[in-house]
Amino acid sequence: MSIVTVILSRAFKAFVTLLAIAVLNFCLLHAAPGDPAVVLAGEAGAADEQMIEQLRERFGLDQPFYVQLGKYVGSVLTLDLGYSFRQGAPVAQLIAERLPATLLLTLTAFVISLVLGIAFGVAASARVGKASDSLLTTLALLFYATPLYWAALMAVLVFSVWLGWLPGFGYETVGAGYTGLARAFDIAKHLVLPALTLGLFFMAVYMRMTRASMLEVSQLDFVKTAKAKGLSGPAIRRRHILRNAILPVVTLAGLQAGQLVGGAVLTETVFAWPGIGRLMFESLAARDYNTILGVFLVSAAMVILFNIVTDIVYRLVDPRIGAKA
């Protein structure tokens, strides 16, 4: 099966999956307690029945559930995510403004976790039973067991408050007026703590997976044959063991890449990072249903996209998979 056929097949499945997710999110959100009209009327200081009924009629909340669902699905099919009456702007515009920050954070954390995880996993597998192997394995377990929000708070406390090495909050320095490379460097400094905090958790998973996979592959017959031919240890690990051991790591990385979006909610909230995770948190507190649904849908689309990319990369890394399809 060619790559083009695979992409078209995955795209169709992704469309059906996203549509099902949109319907499910709408049903679950409207089954939750609370009425946005009551909240808005209360904040306006006019929480009487007449005002509430006017708000329900304005937002379409007075219509039957199936009518609201049909209108929402029709809007999604036309890429219209609705209007946020709390923010006073279209939901698509709000997400488009916040999405680059989330993509920057999640992709940076993903690269950090994957590169460090594979590197440390290979290093640990080459020194099984030694002190360095025990140290790396213990550190991986520590990073994995530490709650994400606690690690984020400790990172701010140590590196920003106590040492003053890095900024602890925000996307860039407010009012600095940086442009060009100066602005890019300023954003990079603000990115270090949230990206490392988010990436180290997943790095621990990839490191342990790489180590276990390397040790398993090293016991196979073709590796013994390579040793019998007189190849050096580093050459065997690089050309024979790692190439085969990395396949399950790629699979796991693709599955967990979507979880980075979920982890970004906590990370963005703690570090005041202006991404869609923080937007979702604020919208949940304000019962801004349209924005919540929009963020959920975009997050689901990102997860599905990560999985499609992983499937394609997997086929490129191991051509046997495409031949079997």
Per residue in 259-271, pLDDT tens? Answer: 777 667 788 888 8
Q: Where are the domains of the chain?
A: 3-78, 92-322
The helix or strand, by DSSP H or E, that contains position 291, with its residue range, turns out to be helix 289-317
- Percent of the chain, pLDDT > 70? 86
Look over the chain and give the mean of its residue pLDDT values, rounded to a whole number. Answer: 81
d(CA 5, CA 322): 11
Q: How many CB atoms lie within 10 A of CB 247?
A: 15
Range 228-236 average pLDDT: 72
Topology classification of domain 92-322: MetI-like fold (1.10.3720)
Phi/psi region, residue 230 (left: phi>0; alpha: psi -120 to 50; beta: rest), is left
d(CA 240, CA 54): 69
**pTM for the whole thing?**
0.80
Phi/psi region, residue 173 (left: phi>0; alpha: psi -120 to 50; beta: rest), is beta
Q: How confident is the model at residue 243 (pLDDT cuts 50, 70, 90)?
A: confident
The string of pLDDT tens digits covering residues 149-203 is 888 888 888 888 888 888 888 888 877 778 888 888 888 999 999 998 888 888 8
